[in-house]
Amino acid sequence: MFRGTFTALVTPFRDGAVDVAAFEKLIESQIAAGISGVVAVGTTGESPTLSHEERQELIRLAVATAKKRCLVLAGTGSNATQHAVADTKMAEKLGADGALLVAPYYNKPSQEGLSRHFKTIADATSLPIMLYNIPGRCGVDIAPDTVTRLARECRNIVSIKEASGSVERISELRARLPALPGQQLQGRRVAQADDFAYTDPVDGSLTQRQGVRVIFDDGARIVFRLSGTGTEGATLRVYLESFEADATRHDLPVQTALAALITVARELARITAHTGRSEPSVVT
């Protein structure tokens, strides 16, 4: 169910309290720009430093503001299993569309401990769950064996936000993850170009076409798509020409980001031509 792009929201504060108006405005701006979903109270929103009451308020606000115009993922991960269970149940009660569960940070559990942690949470909710693997920040890596085990044992663990930075890991997950009904396991690697992220879908299908949308500050949205219809090259060239012409009208920081996107798109075209595959799509 998690397709397209989900923006990880910051948590705005004013005078020591959540700035409700700013948070609602932030969500509205994402919806207006065509985002697929938002992530409230993720680590970008500083979830480890928020109180239970603040996390509850932010998830409630996100659901109420989105009004089903985009999906709402609630960051309910914790290094304490019982806290993660409680927050995930709360998010489900508040109407969130799914839960993002980061690996337990600092504790450095074993792979068996990770499996039991995530399975306990999954068993306590009917929400679809997206695992979040970011070993550089958590100090622990959710190994492919563990991801595969969880995908087989927990039907509501349907995605993974893979931020290990390893291209090889994405390929390994693609090869090993089961193609189970209702499940799509997505891998993510980040290409450093200001705030640009490139997503390579990992759902076990060579015909599934997905992409990631990056919304710039001014709300501009430009699309690169390798459509799989036999017109990939022509489609890509049209967008590249349009993108390059438009880039000259932007200030330097955005122009730099656009140039990086063009480079990535060309590389994708080269890979696609070499492999004959119809994916991935990049939507920015």
pLDDT digits (tens, 9 = 90+) for 68-91: 999 999 999 999 999 999 999 999
Do both 32 and 99 map to the same domain? yes
Q: What is the pTM of this model?
A: 0.68
State the Cα–Cα distance between residues 56 and 66, nearest whole angstrom.
16
Do both 161 and 38 map to the same domain? yes
Do both 50 and 160 map to the same domain? yes
Query: How many structural domains does the chain have?
Result: 2
State the Cα–Cα distance between residues 6 and 105, nearest whole angstrom.
22
Average pLDDT of the chain, as a whole number = 74
pLDDT per position as a tens digit, 153-183: 999 998 888 888 887 887 788 788 755 444 4
Residues labelled catalytic: 132, 161
Do both 18 and 109 map to the same domain? yes
Query: Which domain covers residue 48, as residue numbers?
Result: 6-189
pLDDT per position as a tens digit, 239-251: 444 444 454 554 4
The answer to whether position 48 is within a domain reads: yes
> Taking 70 as the threshold, does the pLDDT of residue 101 lie above it?
yes
The answer to whether position 135 is within a domain reads: yes
> Taking 50 as the threshold, does the pLDDT of residue 230 lie above it?
no
Give the residues across from 161 on adjacent strands: 132
pLDDT attached to residue 251: 47
Name the token pair of 199.
Answer: 């997503």
Close Cβ partners of 69 (under 8 Å, ≥ 6 residues apart): 31
Residue among 278, 124, 137 nearest 201 (CA): 278
Burial class (CB within 10 angstroms; exposed 0-12, middle 13-18, buried 19+) of 186 = buried
**Contact present, 42 and 100 (Cβ < 8 Å):** yes
The answer to whether position 134 is within a domain reads: yes
pLDDT per position as a tens digit, 189-199: 222 222 233 33
In this prediction, residues 105-112 reach a mean pLDDT of 96
pLDDT per position as a tens digit, 261-284: 666 666 555 655 555 544 433 333
Residue that terminates a domain, selected from 132, 159, 189: 189
Do both 185 and 64 map to the same domain? yes
In this prediction, residues 40-56 reach a mean pLDDT of 94
- State the amino acid at position 171 in one-letter form: S
Close Cβ partners of 66 (under 8 Å, ≥ 6 residues apart): 27, 31, 38, 72
> Taking 80 as the threshold, does the pLDDT of residue 114 lie above it?
yes
In this prediction, residues 95-101 reach a mean pLDDT of 97
The answer to whether position 90 is within a domain reads: yes
Do both 211 and 105 map to the same domain? no
Four-residue CA torsion sign, 250, 5, 3, 205: positive
pLDDT attached to residue 269: 58
The answer to whether position 196 is within a domain reads: no
pLDDT attached to residue 33: 86
Give percent of the chain with pLDDT exceeding 70: 62
pLDDT attached to residue 266: 62
